[in-house]
Amino acid sequence: MPLPVRPEDFFATIPALAKAGFAGLNVTIPHKEAAFAVCTHVDDFARRAGAVNTLIFTERGIEGRNTDGYGFVANLRAHGVNPAAGPVLILGAGGAARGIGAALQDAGAEVTFTNRTPERAAALAAALPPAKMLSWEQREAALADCALLINTTSLGMVHEPPLPMNLSRAASGLTVADIVFAPLETRLLADAKAQGLKPVEGLGMLLHQAVPGFEAWFGVRPVVDEDLYRIAAT
């Protein structure tokens, strides 16, 4: 059940949903950091990431988890990509970037953040040591030394402008991942494919991140397979 909630209504809406009988929900842009604050309890990984995308309503209160990182890494591996193959550049510094960056660090990757607002990238790098930050203007030059580029911003999403990113300086083995799933192929992924780079779309991450939440809500752990992917893609 999709529930559009305005940011100013978020803190009133979530407890009301719990009282109304919901088992929990996923939250997305722009609520992931607010979701952390509304929780009664958060798990260790969500606390480290500083963002929550999965809420579970229990007798103890509101439990928060961050499954973005799990979903992203699981989707990489489903595409045959080693998350620790080399340096990673993450575009964006919001809730998704936090969870993905922490999960990649746990997998053994060297992570650098860049953001249009440099203060946010610097704060995120400081929150996840030994992560680094890079100025937005240097992002294209940095691709020569990267194994993985990740767009966690809303740029490229339906009704949003495309991400300004020239991939001509990328290393030949670069994997380009976009967490945007509408459209399924963003301009960034189309450009990556045209240059012979490996594209990884966002729908797989969406499906994999939902697995732990679904299991917590309903007691059944779903399997992300080709049939599920095909149904979600249509």
φ, ψ at 177 (rounded to 5°): -115, 140
Cα 57 from chain centre = 22
For residue 183, cis peptide bond before it (omega within 30 degrees of 0):
yes
Rounded-to-integer distance, Cα 118 and Cα 133, Å: 8
Residue pair 171/143 in contact by the 8 Å Cβ criterion: yes
The count of domains in the chain is 2
Catalytic hit among 19, 32, 132, 193 = 32
The edge-to-edge listing of strands for the beta sheet with 175-178 is: 132-134, 111-114, 88-91, 148-151, 175-178, 198-200
* Residue 99 and residue 214 in one domain: no
* Residue 38 and residue 91 in one domain: no
Q: Using a cut of 0.85, tell me whether the model's pTM lies above it.
A: yes
* Residue 183 and residue 212 in one domain: no
* Residue 131 and residue 48 in one domain: no
* Residue 92 and residue 126 in one domain: yes
Tell whether 1 is covered by a domain.
no
pLDDT digits (tens, 9 = 90+) for 187-219: 999 999 999 999 999 999 999 999 999 999 999
pLDDT digits (tens, 9 = 90+) for 52-105: 999 999 999 999 999 999 999 999 999 999 999 999 999 999 889 999 999 999
Tell whether 81 is covered by a domain.
yes
**What does the pLDDT average to over 117-129?**
96
* Residue 160 and residue 188 in one domain: yes
Rounded-to-integer distance, Cα 164 and Cα 42, Å: 35
- The DSSP 8-state label assigned to residue 88 in this structure reads E
Q: Which domain holds residue 145?
A: 69-204
Is 32 a catalytic site residue?
A: yes
Which CATH number characterizes residue 169's domain?
3.40.50.720
Measured in residues, the chain has a length of 234
* Residue 52 and residue 151 in one domain: no
Residue pair 32/100 in contact by the 8 Å Cβ criterion: no
pLDDT confidence band for 32 (50 / 70 / 90)? confident
The helix (run of H) or strand (run of E) holding residue 64 is strand 61-65
* Residue 42 and residue 81 in one domain: no
Residue 14 CB-density burial (10 A; 0-12 exposed, 13-18 middle, 19+ buried): buried
Which CATH number characterizes residue 216's domain?
3.40.50.10860
